[in-house]
Amino acid sequence: MDERYTRYAGYPAVPLATMAIPIDLRSDTVTQPTDAMKLAMVQAPLGDDVLGDDPTVNRLQEQCAELFGKDAACFVPSGSMANQIAIRAQTSPGDEIMCHEHGHVYLYEAGAWAAISGCSLAMLRGERGQFESHDVSKAVRMDDPHFPRSRLLVVENTQNRGGGAIWPIDRIHAVTDEARKHDLKCHLDGARIWNASAATHISVADYAQPFDTVSACFSKGLGCPVGSIVCGDQDTIAQAHRIRKMLGGTMRQSGMLAAAAIHAIDHHRDRLCDDHTHAKMLAETLERCRNAEIDAESVETNIVYFDVQDDAAQIAAALDCAGLRCLDAGPRTLRLVTSLAVDRADIEQACTILTQLLDA
């Protein structure tokens, strides 16, 4: 055992981790391609996707369109680009978008809804990043030239800031049905829709069915180095390809990246339940720690938010010194995310470190 210890900001001495690489729970974006995924990437047949003849990209787009029950799909570099393409393809400058006040498209996409699409946002509220149908109806603007036109509803499933919360399928139908009454388009930010599907055994097609467009990410729980998809009807996706080019997101021999996504879809979806089990282990450990506040029952997928009594940034730094990397998500809030990057032994060690630091 390494006899070095760390002491930080008044916290007790904690043994420094003996592993060469810290346990990284900052995000599920820290995953690395597996050897099998790398082999699939190297062996992928390639073309020029700008010219539309990369066979692996075309195969991925066809596979995703079928998976999500849509007519067509467009492969893009990132989830943010996927969301913003869907927004741009279904709105006009001056329109208003409805989303939760903690939604990814608002908090984490650099104001692209305004810069790229010229839209404003109507913020909806509700527990764990979700809202109800009556919230949608209240936010719809009157048909009056003084007001922006209510045009698009965005639902995020699972909800990042809601702690990886899964939208109940009946609530999804309720809010999208209400949106339809007011002629709104509907977009599903499904960056982690794979986690929702793995946890509930509801297919991604069933989750996507009430929406005009859906985005999904390959570089989070599925473990790819790069890539997301946006799916919808033929006309919308034709427009998506044009917007992708406009934003500089069209790539050349991107079949290498598409091959990683195909491998992940075929081989990494079932193991997402392991991530959910690991997140629950972390949450149950934290529930027993005196300097942590969490409801372990609320952890549904792979994201764990918990509150602390002291400065979150200092505690994150202390954890980092002890070999556990996480993110401070607020003055008193920390976030842990499980993924392909960590195994059961890593999680058990993480629980030990959390207990030593937070149960003092």
Tens of pLDDT, residue by residue over 32-88, are 999 999 999 999 999 999 999 999 999 999 999 999 999 999 999 999 999 999 999
Helix axes 234-246, 79-90, angle to 10 degrees: 120
DSSP H or E stretch at residue 23: strand 23-24
Rounded to whole angstroms, how far apart are CA atoms 5 and 32? 29
Going from the N-terminus, what domains does the chain have, and what CATH number goes with each? Answer: 5-25+271-358 (3.90.1150.10), 35-267 (3.40.640.10)
Residue 15: what pLDDT?
55
* Residue 166 DSSP one-character state: P
Comparing CA positions, the residue from 151, 161, 147, 72 lying closest to residue 113 is 151
pLDDT of residue 177: 98
**pLDDT digits 0-9 by tens, 131-185:** 999 999 999 999 999 999 999 999 999 999 999 999 999 999 999 999 999 999 9
Instruction: Find the mean pLDDT for residues 86-107.
Output: 98
169, 197, 171, 154: which is closest to 300 by C-alpha?
197
Which amino acid, 96? Answer: E
pLDDT of residue 188 exceeding 60, the answer is: yes
Spacing of C-alpha 271 from chain mean position = 17
Distance of alpha carbon 89 from the chain centroid: 21
Distance CA(138)–CA(226), nearest Å, equals: 38
- Side-chain half-sphere exposure of 292, counting CA atoms within 13 A: 27
Of 265, 244, 173, 205, residue with least CA distance to 70: 205
Cis peptide bond upstream of 18, omega within 30? no
Q: State the pLDDT confidence band at 18, using cuts at 50, 70 and 90.
A: very low
